[in-house]
Amino acid sequence: MENLTIKDQVNKETIKIMDNISGQADKRLQDIKVLMYHRLIDSVEAKSNFHWTTVTQKDFIDHLKVLESFNYTPITFNDLRLHLLQEIELPKKPVIITFDDGYKDFYELGYPVLKEFGMRAVIFALGDRSITENIWDDSKVIPRAPLMNDRELQELHSEGFEIGAHSCTHRKLTELDDEKLHEEIFKSKKNLESVLNSKVYSFCYPYGLENEKVQNAVREARFTFGCTVYNGPLRFGDSLYNIHRVTIKNGMGALSFGLRMLTPFEYVEVSGSKIKRRIIEQH
């Protein structure tokens, strides 16, 4: 179980979750994959945009077909929270689909497809609702893309999608002083909860940058989960505030995606032919 060094500042619910995790024998918790997407693009943009963060809608549909073929059920972090509070049961093969930054192309290209498959996802949005484009990428010469507005986030929330926080302005949290760090984390939660009229439980560190100080601030803000961008399994026994994810990149087709869904990773090569056969049958 995680050592809660600031336990007096943690809400009772989080303490109960950590206590329940320490007694969990459910292997499903260790097997949960958290998938990390950023942008979805159409076939036209795909001809000119090859940045690793962009995934075509066609590839995304193929990924969902793989999940469906292998009987995975997408859940949200809130579902996980309720399970750890012993309020609901998890499906047999849960997976968590996450999208960073809250791009409008998710609303246009991802949301309709997920609804067709009867699946949900977690969207990490900025708390500063005046930011309408990915201005943090200007220094990287990455084209600007629009972000979802309040109405779109509210619609997603009403349909069972989870809206998590991605800080207020997408700054590198490990480089901030205490006051600015507090504002980026606490204000992002407050602002999004005001937009949604609902609690926000999950947080995603911009650029995956975090340390003990940042994790403690996220915990103090009463988030239940904190996601990095590093590859790896969920590892609940380590920390709720350092959850690793599986990076989904540009050009990743059904076979590559299927291989990444295997648990454990060392069996990928052995099982590759079997996965390929099942994927081909779905197309």
The predicted model gives 225-253 an average pLDDT of 82
Contact 90, 83 (CB under 8 A): yes
Q: Which residue has the tokens 């990390």?
A: 36
* Per-residue pLDDT, 265: 44
CA angle 180/137/58 to nearest 5° reads 125
Indicate the pTM of the whole model.
Answer: 0.87
CB 88 within 8 A of CB 25: no
CB 42 within 8 A of CB 56: yes
Alpha carbon separation from 262 to 53, 67, 72, 249 (Å, rounded): 22, 11, 11, 17
In angstroms, the CA 29 to CA 3 distance is 19
CB 258 within 8 A of CB 279: yes
Which segment, 40-49, 83-92, 183-192, 233-242, is predicted with the most confidence on average? 183-192
Instruction: Give the gyration radius of the chain's Cα atoms.
Output: 18
Burial 40-69 (b: 16+ CB within 10 A, else e): bbeeebbeebeeebbbbbebbbbbbbbbeb
Reduced to 3 states (helix: H, G, I; strand: E, B; else coil), residue 262 is coil
33-37 and 94-100: which strand pairing?
parallel
Segment (H or E) for 94: strand 94-100
With CA atoms as reference, report the closest residue to 37 among 11, 59, 22.
59
pLDDT at 3 over 70: no
- 40: phi then psi, degrees, rounded to nearest 5: -115, 140
Closest CA to 124 of 143, 145, 106: 106
Model confidence at 276: pLDDT above 80: no
pLDDT digits (tens, 9 = 90+) for 96-143: 999 999 999 999 999 999 999 999 999 999 999 999 999 999 888 788
Domains of the chain, start order: 7-281 (3.20.20.370)
CA distance 107 to 73: 20
pLDDT of res. 4: 46
pLDDT in tens, 170-214: 999 999 999 999 999 999 999 999 999 999 999 999 999 999 999
Residue 31: which pLDDT band, with cuts at 50, 70 and 90? Answer: confident
Residues of the chain with pLDDT > 70, as a percent, come to 82
